[in-house]
Amino acid sequence: MSSLPSEFSGVTVHTKANVYFNGRVLSHTVLMPGGAKKTLGIIQPGSYHFGTGAPERMEIIAGTGRVTIDGEKETKAHVTGATFEVPGNSGFTIDVDGGLCEYICSFL
């Protein structure tokens, strides 16, 4: 059984989408009961670089993406159920070759 959540209860969801890369990446902000912030999103095929202010944990909930964390040489494939962390004041590039990549981003 997957450890990824299939739903969040008792949360506040911002209805206005976060739109990146001309609509190729979309997410919605979710505020958890204790004040933690997450985003739920989809990434269409393509290559995208994201910068981080705070550290983030990315959980791939469907699809596949190849990820390179800023400052690292190795690109790693992440499939459904995979998790990776990105330091604050850094960033990562994700390449989605086909289909959609769905994710949960937790701000640490």
**53 is in which domain, residue-wise?**
33-107
pLDDT band at 38 (very low <50, low <70, confident <90, very high): very high
Q: Hey, which residues does 78 pair with through a beta bridge?
A: 65
Query: Is the model's pTM score more than 0.75?
Result: yes
| Residue-wise pLDDT tens digits, 55-107 | 999 999 999 999 999 999 999 999 999 999 999 999 999 999 999 999 999 99
Three-state DSSP at 22 gives helix
CATH number, domain with residue 46: 2.60.120.10
Q: Hey, which residues does 44 pair with through a beta bridge?
A: none
Q: What percent of the chain has pLDDT over 90?
A: 93
DSSP annotation of 72: -
Mean pLDDT of the chain: 95
Counting the structural domains of the chain, the total is 1
Reply yes or no on whether the pLDDT at 1 is more than 50: no
27 within some domain: no
